[in-house]
Structure 1
Amino acid sequence: MYGKAFAPEYQGALTTLSVNSSLTEVLAAGTRQLREAERAGEHGEAARSGLAVAEAHRRLGQIGEADRAWKASYRAARAVGDQGAMAWALWSGGTLARQRGSFALARRLLGLAAEMGKRGGDVVVRGYSLAGLAETGRIQGDYEAVAQLHEQLLAEARRRGEARHTVWALEGIAQIHRQRGSYDSAYAMFEEAAAIAEGADDRRGHAWALRGLADIVSARDGDVERALALLSEAEAVCREMRLSSALAYNHKMRGNVLYRAGRYTEARDTYELALAEFREMSEPRGEALARLGLAKSLARLGRSRVETAAELEDLAGELDRIGLRHARQMVARAREELGLRDQAEVGPGRHAERTARGRAGLGDEAARRARAADRGVRAEVAR
């Protein structure tokens, strides 16, 4: 039913690149082709190769370079009136905006990309742009608003036999079910996504599906060792392909599994590693979630109630700023879990002082642990 997964963002002379190509390979090939196209005055090819360059920089966490590259790709496409290439550039810019936590800008750029893709007759970029809008809403916790769009995109992907997009849609819907407590249906969807991704040789999609399965196995079944084994299998893929975003979220999930099992020291160390990775790639959502897990672990290991309450208060404000509604609810549940609902508020000045000192210390320690891990990757921030 499904063919081999492909990467439609690798276009023009770069169509030979695989969905499993390492990001360093993509960046090198894309940069070479972009320079050749620019020297030859081939704006269309410059737009297409520039898209791959933008995506490689974005996924490597090189934010400034990614921002410049997608805008240059858009200008090159506009110079020759290529609406499809313009739409792909806007999609890249919108995805970058979501990565940076600029959700309003992400929705605007992705909406423009979907409209332009439709006008240009490129159904793939339209689908990817709508998927980006759906994922933006899901990340923010707007499940009711985007659940139907996820289902629509899943149906379209199945109809066209697009393995990579089917896997993405299944994983997105599974995440919604999991957040609503429907573990069995979420597990079935992650399991199907893993099978499709494996059959289509979509290693990135397979790694994300394994992470989802590990979460359910841990939360629903309490099977710590199986969950850790699934995460280890996914981590091996992430390291081999240099998928740093997937690796950071894998580490964050490993922290969750260890925390649920009461292995708080191991959970603390793993959250610190994930926090350093998210900070390195300028990923505010992942950073906030890792901070939350770390704060809970430190509380279990004896951190004072005042310090814990101050950290959670700061986190609540950060999550409000980012716009992650369901994640803010997680802070409220953490307060209740740790018995801090009635904790007296810390004075503003003292709160700020404690929080700044705590965050700076955690950052130094996390960075040290990350360096010791010798990860050899930077920040593939995709999805």
Structure 2
Amino acid sequence: MYGKAFAPEYQGALGSLSVNSSLADVLVRATEQLRAAERDGTPREAARCSLAVAEAHRRLGNNREADRAWKASYRTARGADDPGTMAWAAWSGGTLARQRGAMALARRLLALAAELGERDGDVLARGYALAGLAETGRIQGDYEAVDALHGQLLAEARERGEARHMVWALEGIAQMRRNTGDFDSALAMFEEAAAIAERAEDHRGRAWALRGVADLVSARDGDTERALALLTEAAGLCRSMNLTGALAYNHKMRGNVLYRAGRYAEARTMYDKARSQFSAMGEPRGEALARLGLVKSHARLGREPARTAADLDGLHRALDAIGLRHAGRLIRDARAELGIEAMAAV
């Protein structure tokens, strides 16, 4: 059993905010409460409000503002001898670092968050930090190292009835299984995640889960129209909460679905839209993946092989710089698909 989803990163005076609150509204309210806490001389409350400011900015794609806010939260919490809020601030900073492609920094900050959460007895802060470490490893393609951790966190979330983390863990395991070719198991887990998120009223989790279902409905079943309908539903949830990053990944997946269907001109448009969104929010991984789809779409629409080969070389370097262990496989697969393997050195 599990209860309704909640947002433990919204604390103190902001504890009544919903996991589904519009990020624009969260930012306004958190900023107001931060100013009040500073006027009142209540540093613990100021640290908590700065955390909410950081998370709102991060999810809106405002990286510089998010960076300033999580650091302010950490400094203020440290001055107030509040290791619990320090843990959440380090978690926010680590999540931002991963979003920006700084994987080594993300690991350091998330490990610190886990340590602080354990020291303070904050089970949720520790769990979120460990989940962040697991997700960082998964994104880098280190599946063997983090598969067991994903499973452990899913079991802990089921035991606590914490729906939001159940959804996250199911999605992470499903993504790894999808990427290793176990489409049936992956689809079942994404569908379970979507159902739990819907019952728990976790719109963010449901949006990500629907994206995963759409991917597999397209890749496994070739059902383009159902996949596009699922992505449209997910995009509506993203817009209702101002989830900038999630919406960009939704657009990138729409490009994937259209590409698989042979609708290359439409796919090119969606990949270009996603690339612009990722670029604006400073998310290099998403931008590189959107560029890969864009290169492939251009190739299908007649771009000369030499230009495609050069573009793929550049993408390989960009993906490798982020620390994605499977970058080489992604590029090799693209070369093989487009029939230009022999031109890799062009």
Q: Is 1:314 matched with 2:314? A: yes
Number of residue equivalences:
346
Identity of aligned residues (%): 72
TM-score, length-normalised on structure 2?
0.99
Q: Which range is displaced more, 337-346 or 6-15?
A: 337-346
Q: Which amino acid aligns with 2:18?
A: S
Residue of structure 1 in register with 2:251 after alignment: 251
List gaps (5 residues or longer) in structure 2: none
Offset at residue 344 of structure 1 (A): 6.0
> Hey, what's the Cα distance between the residues in 1 that align with 2:32 and 2:344?
59
Q: Deviations over 1:172-206 (max 9, x none)?
A: 00000000000000001001000000000001100
Partner of 2:151: 151
**Alpha-carbon deviation of 1:85?**
0.6
State the alpha-carbon separation in 2 of the partners of residues 136 and 31 from structure 1.
29
Shift of 1:171: 0.2
Alignment partner, residue 173 of structure 1:
173
Asked if 1:200 corresponds to 2:197, the answer is no
Q: For residues 327 and 254 of structure 2, what CA distance do their matches in structure 1 show?
A: 18
Q: Pairwise mapping of residues 64-103 of structure 1 onto structure 2 (< 5 A)?
A: 64-103=64-103
**What's the TM-score, normalizing by structure 1?**
0.89
- Asked if the contact 2:313–2:344 (Cα under 8 Å) also holds between the matched residues in 1, the reply is no
Give the equivalent residue in structure 1 for 2:287. Answer: 287
Equivalence map 1:178-197=2 (5 Å): 178-197=178-197
The one-letter code matched in structure 1 to 2:96 is L
Task: Please list the CA deviations of residues 44-73 of structure 1 after superposition, one character each: whole Å capped at 9, or x if unmatched.
Answer: 101111100011111111111111111111
Determine helix, strand or coil for the equivalent of 1:302: coil
- Tell me, in whole angstroms, the C-alpha distance in 2 between the residues paired with 1:155 and 1:85: 25
Residue identity matched to 2:178: R
Distance 2:158 2:248 in 1: 29
Counterpart-to-counterpart distance in 1, 2:48 and 2:309? 49
Counterpart amino acid of 1:334? A
Determine whether 1:336 maps to 2:336. Answer: yes
Q: How does 1:202-241 map to 2 (within 5 A)?
A: 202-241=202-241
Q: Distance in 2 between matches of 1:212 and 1:268?
A: 21
Consecutive aligned runs of 4 or more in structure 1 exceeding 2 Å deviation: none
Q: Which residue of 2 aligns with 1:36?
A: 36
After TM superposition, the structure 1 stretch with the greater mean CA deviation from structure 2, 137-146 or 336-345, is 336-345
Could you say which residue in structure 1 is the equivalent of 2:277?
Answer: 277
Q: Is the 8 A contact 2:320 2:327 kept in 1?
A: no
* Aligned counterparts of 2:173 and 2:327: Cα–Cα separation in 1: 17
For 2:270 and 2:103, the matched residues in 1 are separated by: 28
1:225 maps to a residue whose letter is E
What is the one-letter code of the residue matched to 2:238?
C
1:131-160 alpha-carbon deviations (Å, 9 max, x no partner): 000000000000000000000000000000
Output the amino acid matched with 1:320: D
Q: Counterpart amino acid of 1:153?
A: L
| 1:330 CA drift (Å) | 1.1
What residue is the counterpart of 2:111 in the other structure? Answer: 111
- 1:256 to partner: Cα distance: 0.5
* Whole-angstrom CA distance in 2 between matches of 1:258 and 1:66: 34
| Comparing 230-239 and 126-135, the one that deviates more | 230-239
Deviations 1:31-56 (A, max 9, x none): 01111111111011011111000111
Q: Distance in 2 between matches of 1:96 and 1:81?
A: 24
Residues 260 and 125 from structure 1, CA distance in 2 versus in 1: closer, same or farther, beyond 3 angstroms?
A: same
Question: Equivalents in 2 of 1:226, 1:61: separation in Å?
Answer: 29
